[in-house]
DNA sequence: GCACTAAAATGATATAGATCAAGTTAGTGC
DNA sequence: GCACTAACTTGATCTATATCATTTTAGTGC
């Protein structure tokens, strides 16, 4: 167990030099509802988006704000959450590059029902809803594709409901680790590093439990050699064993 | 406390005479994504749908079945649920007339991830996805409207996640009763009858708890005069008090 | 009205996980 | 290398709710 001295996570430079036009275009092309467009159409569409950089922890929008933009993650990770009156946070999703978020309320106006926070330094593309409506008009295939993505989001949300009501904390956490690995995993000498700063509290808010319980589960996982973990980082060492826990 | 001798719920005749063409058209017009269409367009669209009747408890589709239809509730109520491996059922939603369900997977093929059961006798319109794709092509406004409905569904699903992780069973049940009243409430001399057969088990599966716990909560609500209840039915007598419980 | 049955209520007990309360340490910055 | 602090861990207790085991009853059909 070679003890590390510094976090294995890479630092995101928030200066924006990452986010070239090519990167923007290529990430936009990754969003599944733009995936089928020709390169020239994509080039046209990307012009309507504007890019913004956020530092780790920055609020992109807050629940209750007027919802006038559709956004796409180009680089980094975005956390969607609800702050409750009782002071408990509920993390709804952590988005990887290529995911969209924000508003789809194309008719009338609306207000965000969740908050969006930069989980790492990140680059976000955004488009006003009026512009997006025009895009939909011009490229009808986008409308159909976006429907599918929305349906998929609903599904994963329902899966979460199922897990909350039927699975114990340990299984839920195992599932989260697996999902995060798929989204943000980077292969290193030993195991897969989840390239994303996230704390026990984040994990707890994702699993619908407390920091302490999340911590206990993670300690056990480490004892069993399933993961290696430090402050704000986790690396998966034994995915097979993790899968066993999920399948019970 | 005048004891009732028969269920106050009305019986749905499963013979289909309810479901006239006018009723179909008017219900289809209630689906928010068809709401803005002209009457003549609606008349055209309704022709592409076919109507089926289901008796209470009948399976409309089962999770894992190939998902080739989009459906609309015309009359009655539909329960969407997931059966888990461990034998626990998770109710995802109970749909009132005017709601859509089924598949939106317009490209490629897919499989249902939940099951749909007729909660009461009901009349369902369905359209094949190929036909629906044509409708979308012909009436682009439908596409935009459906996006909004999907976003709304995602939202209510996220609200459910929030409640499961932050609210105690009593509050969750209070919320469910309120929602069901809004969807299926019928004003009677004393209070609002939820016009829908649903058992303690249904309620428990909606709230993510057990039949026994649901039963206890309902007993208390009745003792406090908030509801009046029998087998498979509930009437709200004191909405204000119920709201108090929700707001804590 | 009476018998029958599935649904609901109730009681006793067990338990996962929350809560409360101190510790420990990883990783940073000097 | 050392001190510092937020992140994490660990332990002891408490509690909401599950579980198990019965009993009661609403509503039906005769």
Domains in chain A and their CATH numbers? 21-165 (2.60.120.10), 167-247 (1.10.10.10)
The pLDDT of residue A142 is above 80 = yes
Residue closest to D18 C1′ by Cα: B210
Q: How far is CA B211 from CA A163, B36, B131, B179, B194, in A?
A: 19, 42, 42, 19, 19
The CA–C1' separation of B84 and C17, in angstroms, is: 22
A105 interaction partners in chain B (CB closer than 8 Å): 148, 151
How confident is residue B1, by pLDDT bands cut at 50, 70 and 90? Answer: very low
Locate A101 and state its tokens: 């978020």
* Euclidean distance between CA atoms B83 and B81, whole angstroms: 7
Write out pLDDT tens, residues A192-242. 999 999 999 999 999 999 999 999 999 999 999 999 999 999 999 999 999
How confident is residue A2, by pLDDT bands cut at 50, 70 and 90? Answer: very low
* DSSP bridge partners of B90: B82
Write out pLDDT tens, residues B188-201. 877 899 999 999 99
The pLDDT of residue B76 is above 90 = yes
Output the pLDDT for position B106. 84
Point out the least confidently predicted range of A205-209, B120-124, B214-218. B120-124
A2 shares contact with chain B (CB less than 8 Å): no
The pLDDT of residue B110 is above 70 = yes
Nearest nucleotide from residue A230 CA, by C1' atom: C26
B166 interaction partners in chain A (CB closer than 8 Å): 84, 86, 88, 90
Output the pLDDT for position B152. 92
B151 vs A104: CB contact, 8 Å cut-off?
Answer: yes
Nearest to B96 by CA among B82, B111, B76, B80: B76
The pLDDT of residue A15 is above 60 = no
Point out the least confidently predicted range of A6-20, A54-68, A234-248, B19-33. A6-20
How confident is residue A22, by pLDDT bands cut at 50, 70 and 90? Answer: confident
Point out the least confidently predicted range of A145-149, A202-206, A243-247, B120-124. A145-149
Q: Given B82, B105, B161, which is nearest A157 (Cβ)?
A: B161
The pLDDT of residue A104 is above 70 = yes
Of A3 and A138, the structure prediction assigns the larger pLDDT to: A138
Output the pLDDT for position A4. 55
The pLDDT of residue A10 is above 90 = no
* Euclidean distance between CA atoms A138 and A41, whole angstroms: 10
Strand C: which nucleotides have any atom within 7 A of a protein Cβ? 7-12, 16-21, 26-28
Output the pLDDT for position A31. 81
- Are B175 and B162 a contacting pair, CB within 8 Å? no
How confident is residue B29, by pLDDT bands cut at 50, 70 and 90? Answer: confident
Locate A213 and state its tokens: 């319980």
Locate B208 and state its tokens: 């993510």
B161 vs A160: CB contact, 8 Å cut-off?
Answer: yes
Residue of A nearest to B141 (CA): A137
Output the pLDDT for position B193. 96
Residue of B nearest to A165 (CA): B208
Output the pLDDT for position A12. 59
Locate A197 and state its tokens: 């700063």
């Amino acid at each position: 167990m070679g003890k590390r001295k510094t976090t294995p996570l890479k630092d995101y430079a928030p200066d924006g030099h990452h986010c070239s036009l090519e990167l923007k275009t290529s990430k936009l092309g990754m969003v599944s509802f733009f995936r089928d467009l020709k390169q020239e159409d994509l080039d046209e569409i990307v012009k309507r988006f504007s890019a913004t950089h956020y530092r780790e922890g920055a609020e992109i929008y807050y629940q209750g704000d007027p919802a006038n933009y559709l956004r796409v993650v180009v680089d980094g990770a975005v956390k969607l959450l609800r702050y409750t009156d009782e002071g408990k946070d509920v993390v709804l999703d952590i988005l990887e590059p290529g995911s969209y978020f924000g508003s789809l309320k194309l008719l009338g106006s609306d207000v965000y029902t969740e908050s969006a926070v930069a989980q790492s330094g990140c680059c976000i593309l955004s488009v006003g809803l009026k512009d997006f409506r025009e895009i939909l008009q011009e490229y009808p295939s986008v409308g159909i594709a976006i429907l599918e993505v929305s349906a998929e989001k609903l599904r994963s949300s329902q899966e979460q409901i199922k897990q909350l009501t039927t699975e114990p904390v340990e299984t839920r956490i195992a599932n989260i680790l697996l999902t995060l690995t798929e989204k943000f995993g980077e292969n290193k000498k030993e195991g897969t590093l989840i390239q994303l700063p996230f704390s026990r509290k984040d994990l707890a808010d994702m699993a619908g439990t407390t920091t302490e319980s999340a911590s206990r589960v993670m300690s056990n996982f480490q004892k069993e050699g399933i993961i290696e973990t430090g402050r704000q980082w986790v690396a998966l060492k034994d995915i097979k064993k993790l899968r066993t826990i999920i399948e019970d």
